[in-house]
Amino acid sequence: NKGSEVVRGLKTERAGDLNAPRLNHGAALVGPRNVLVAGGHDTSGAVGALELYDSATAAWSPAGTLAKPRSNC
């Protein structure tokens, strides 16, 4: 699964590729312009990577690692 979408009001926009593609992750709005993606599942199993999307730069960056990889957050 490549690519991500960000919701802006009633519209979604392409947000670029995560550094570590995944499904079944959790996502949370962090402040007015950032989205944090946590965990998920890839072809190897549960993912522990955290990534932060900055809508001002339209870029994803690594944001740490979960203590325990998890999916379906």
For the chain (length 73 residues), average pLDDT per consecutive 10? 61 78 91 92 94 91 95 83
**Alpha carbon separation from 64 to 52, 58, 61, 67, 68 (Å, rounded):** 9, 19, 9, 10, 12
pLDDT of residue 5: 64
pLDDT of residue 9: 67
- Using a cut of 0.85, tell me whether the model's pTM lies above it: no
